[in-house]
Structure 1
Amino acid sequence: MVNKPTDHIVKSFDEDLKRLSNVIAEMGGLAEAQLTRAVEALVRRNSELATQVVQDDKRIDALETEVGQMTVRMLALRQPMAQDLREVVAAIKIASDIERIGDYAKNIAKRAIVLSTHAPMKPVASIPRMSQLALQIIKDVLDSYIEKDAEGARAAWRRDEEVDEMYNSLFREMLTYMMEDPRNIGPCTHLLFIAKNIERIGDHATNIAEIVYFLVHGRSLDEERPKGDTTNVPIDA
């Protein structure tokens, strides 16, 4: 039996969506690895590893460009509607959020290079715990995207408040160190930027969760976004 032209078009579009999801998954994996290595470089005071993280950021940028090219082609040739259109638009938005996560990981690595020239500081030990929570949220929202799991995305979305609370605690700890000894002001400021970068990574992960929820249900989450950052300090790098 010969397939109808419409059958071929549907199959071809499904294959395009599958390739798009694969690229998004690859981007997400790279972003997770970048954040892991950046924090490792900070803790181990390894400037070579941090430099490699900075250089590797272009791999994520290249994949975002690929997503952009793929989605433009799909919109032009397929003219998707309803759920299919949401799939394409979601991919564009998620790729953008992942690219920003990669940028924040690069920023952390840059500051790790600077901090490797300073004496070790106790507050550094708080950064890995915060990054591990952010990494888990990223993993959960990306899994939710691949599996089209709206409730999994919602659960991950709610955990962003934990990241904010950890940032608040670390912020207070840094202030204490800076007040105790003015020589700590420089390195503590870098650590505050690093903590803020991780907090922002959590925000981008919640963006992805919201996109996944909309992708599945065609409507926005009907809850107020959880937010626990009470510092109100504009140090977003």
Structure 2
Amino acid sequence: MDQTISKLDEKMQFFQEMLIQMVNRVEEAIYQAQYAFRNHDVELAKKVITNDWFIDQLQEMVENDGVRLLVSETPYGHYMRHIIAGIKIVSSLERMGDHASHMAKMASSEEEAMFIPFVERISEMALLGATMTRKVVEAFIDVKAEKAIEVALLDDKMDAERDALNADLFALRPETEAEMERILNLFYLTKEMERYGDHVTTICRWIVYMDKGQRPKLNGPKKTE
């Protein structure tokens, strides 16, 4: 019996390491995406977009490994909760990687002066997303519901900044079609960053499930499942 548990623990460790690697890649992606967006680094933006493929591959690897563990190891108790949560978490991580890639696609070689303050503020939203990602992996490693709940609270800042940015963008008066297109792109990015925070909140809910066996609503009446 002890030997069976030991082998299962080894397999669970590998499963968790792949998941953590995926989180780390997502954190790197959002950090690099905001840097490329803020500093007009088109080459770095291309790298972020290309590297999104690796995040997608890690999602598939974690999901496949999780299914194998459920089928072949017949896990019980906290083992089963961890596998189920891991399979769900990678779905959110894949979407977070997409949001980082979308931000990178908005990087341009130059920016009109009227949009620079908005670029800065959206980049700060992305940096908040990177911080949330780092904190959520710490909560995941420790399997601490309390830490996860604290991370989810940071999403309130993301939501508030999105509302403020949208109001200021709406107040702009574009004079050309190009300016109107850029305003729409910036609206789109504020939504992308807000959704990024929602996905972190979803991960937090699954960490609470891993620890407590429950998935409470966190940080608002309606969050990403």
TM (norm. structure 1) is: 0.87
Partner of 1:225: 219
The match for 1:91 is 86
What is the CA-CA distance between 1:117 and the residue it aligns to? 5.7
What does 1:126-137 correspond to in 2, within 5 Å?
Answer: 126-137=121-132
For residues 168-187 of structure 1, give each alpha carbon's deviation from its aligned partner in whole angstroms, at most 9, with x where no partner exists. 1111121122x254552111
Aligned AA (1:16): K
| C-alpha distance in structure 2 between counterparts of 1:58 and 1:78, whole Å | 30
**Residue number in structure 1 paired with 2:112:** 119
Please tell me the residue identity of whatever aligns with 2:31. T
My pick for the range that moved more, 184-193 or 89-98, is 184-193
Residue aligning to 1:197: 192
Single out whichever of 118-127 and 11-20 deviates more from structure 2: 118-127
Structure-2 residue corresponding to 1:235: none
CA contact (8 A) 1:133 1:163 kept: yes
Mapped to 2, the partners of 1:194 and 1:157 lie a distance apart of 20
Q: 1:129 to 1:117 in 2, by over 3 A?
A: closer
Alignment partner of 1:19 out of 2, 14, 19: 14
Taking the TM superposition and a 5 Å limit, the aligned residue runs for 1:203-214 are 203-214=198-209
Shift, 1:98, TM fit:
0.7
Partner of 2:158, secondary structure, is helix
- Structure 1 stretches of 4+ with a deviation exceeding 4 A read none
Q: Which SS does the other structure have where 2:214 is aligned?
A: coil
Q: Does 1:158 align with 2:162?
A: no
| Contact 2:151–2:204 (8 Å) recurs in 1 | yes
Identity %: 26
Q: What is aligned with 1:232?
A: none
Matches within 5 A, 1:21-100: 21-100=16-95
Equivalent position of 1:146 in the other structure: 141
CA 1:228–1:93: 2 relative to 1, 3 Å: closer
Uncovered stretches (5+) of structure 1, i.e. residues with no partner: 1-5, 230-237
1:39 maps to a residue whose letter is Q
Q: CA RMSD in A?
A: 1.8
Is 1:102 matched up with 2:97? Answer: yes
Letter in 2 for 1:77: S
- Structure 2: unaligned runs, 5 residues or longer: none
Q: Residue type of the partner of 1:64?
A: Q
